[in-house]
Chain A
Amino acid sequence: MMHVGLIHYLAVSGALFALGLACIVLRRNALLVFMGLELNLNAANLALVAFSRYGGHAEGQVLATFIIAIAAAEVAIGLAIIVALFRRRATIVTDLLRSLKG
């Protein structure tokens, strides 16, 4: 059996990204869509950290730190938007929020 290396971490990261993508595309609850987005960000972070570790440079982990900080801002704004949406429309089912679609 092959020893765990960079490619294993990249494969796990890719699978996690695919799960997040499926969550975004398939779920109709806006909160679940948002959770899928978090999974995507974390998959990207895992790939960056793995590249940083096996490539021997700090940049990947520096970028991952920034991504976590930006994700915090994104969650605050996104959840505020979802709460405002729920107050106005009394639903967060993405299929029912279609007033821009004409």
Chain B
Amino acid sequence: MTAYDAIFWFFSLALLLCGVLVLISPNAVASGLYLVLSFFFLAGLYVLLEAFFLALIQILVYAGAIMVLFLFVIMLLDFRESRHWWRGNLLGWLGAPLAAGTLLTALLPILKRSGALAVAPEQWFEGTLENVMTPVFTRYLLPVEVTALILLAATIGGVVLGRKETKP
């Protein structure tokens, strides 16, 4: 086991542990904080995959901006859930393993073929800023513009939805 493997196992096990804690924590604020922590471990996995730019974006945008918004709304609503959230949700408890099983069955052929998908180590992709962003601003320029439009629509939609209702 090399150092790379050890770091991989540490990050992935910590990531999955944080995911489990998000699921089972009865307090929404605790869930949100565990989600932030899991994003940091995910950024660590991105660094292991040499996706340096995405690791940076993951921390800046996800852990920095999106999760602050999340925690802000959790505190704003001051909503208390029942501590026993797992009770009386028979449909959910039946549906969750069914959905996971279906997903796994659909993914198994891909997992089996994953060895054939990989190329030689000298051709592995290094996710530096230049390598990732050059195709974004050349070949995928139209999707960038569409994303910009979507972000604009989301901004306007957020303002409209968040406004206090005025009587006509």
Contact = CB atoms under 8 A, between A and B. Distances in A.
Contacts of B2: 3
Interface residues of A, number: 73
Given A12-B12, A12-B15, A56-B123, A6 B45 contact: no
A53 B22 contact: no
A83 interface: yes
Interface string B17-60: 00110110000100110010011001001100111011001100
Given A19-B23, A54-B118, A31 B8 contact: no
Contacts of A45: 42, 54
A25 interface: yes
A83 B69 CA distance: 12
B4 to A, nearest CB: 6
A97 interface: no
A76 B107 contact: no
A7 B115 contact: yes
Interface in B100-115: 100, 103-104, 107, 110-111, 114-115
B158 interface: yes
A83 B162 contact: yes
A54 B125 CA distance: 7
B148 to A, nearest CB: 9
Contacts of A100: none
B104 A14 contact: yes
Contacts of A77: 154, 157-158, 161
Interface in B58-74: 58, 61-62, 65-66, 69-70, 73-74
Nearest to A38: B35
Nearest to B62: A68
B5 A49 contact: no
Contacts of B69: 75-76, 79
A57 B54 CA distance: 15
Rank and list the top 8 A-B pairs by shortest CB-CB distance, nearest first. Answer: A73-B154, A80-B161, A19-B19, A56-B123, A54-B118, A12-B12, A56-B119, A80-B158
7 contacts: A6-B115, A21-B99, A31-B77, A58-B134, A58-B135, A66-B147, A73-B150
